[in-house]
Amino acid sequence: MTTNPNNFSRREFIIKIGKFSLVLTLPLPACGGKKKTENAPVCLAALTHDEKTFSALADTIVPGCQTDPSGAPGAVEACALNLIYDDKMPIVEVATLLVSLLDGAARDLYQRDFVDLNLEERTQAVLESEKRLPLLSWLLKLIRSAFYVGYFSDIGLKYLGYPGPNLGYVNLGFSFGEKMSEELTPDGNLP
């Protein structure tokens, strides 16, 4: 007969193992719950009137959580302001002029600033601004690229269902020895 060095009964042993396994299921600060987001970019906050106007413009071009009926992410959540205010972009130099263009069109149409309009009114103000300055379309493309290309955040790519980079060749069942077509080209070859 073997002796139990800790003098545990079978019942006490099972209770201690049960408590230990319960502790293991609790989320630890670094392991469970949310993933670490230290590599995730921080989107610029819209603090000034210019930044709020560009944020409203980004929300107009690709509506986000606040204006999209389904609550889907948009250009603001994809850090469009980071892209607009990037030092390498020429928009920074003319930002105040673009804001005055958007505000001017909004005042002409609705007697309010661009940021005070709802989504439909902002859309009409953007169309009017584009008529006045056709080069504004380049800014709109830049805002769309923040969401659809994922310069600062992959929120848009995930929303679209992009699985990520290709991990290599996937065998789809094609073989070199099998016919892929029964048709012949005019010179007698298989396509």
pLDDT in tens, 172-183: 665 666 666 677
Is residue 101 over pLDDT 60?
yes
Mean pLDDT of 130-153: 89
pLDDT score at 36: 41
- pLDDT-derived band of residue 30, with 50, 70 and 90 as boundaries? very low
pLDDT score at 179: 66
Under 8 Å between Cβ of 122 and 60: yes
pLDDT score at 178: 66
Gap between the Cα atoms of 11 and 101, Å rounded: 78
Which pTM value belongs to this model? 0.65
Lowest mean pLDDT among 46-50, 78-82, 147-151: 147-151
Q: What letter would DSSP give residue 182?
A: S
Gap between the Cα atoms of 129 and 106, Å rounded: 9
Residue with the bigger pLDDT between 93 and 48: it is: 48
Gap between the Cα atoms of 144 and 51, Å rounded: 17
- Structure tokens belonging to residue 72: 């889907």
Nearest to 101 by CA among 133, 78, 77: 133
> What rounded mean pLDDT belongs to the chain?
79
Q: What letter would DSSP give residue 92?
A: G
pLDDT score at 90: 82
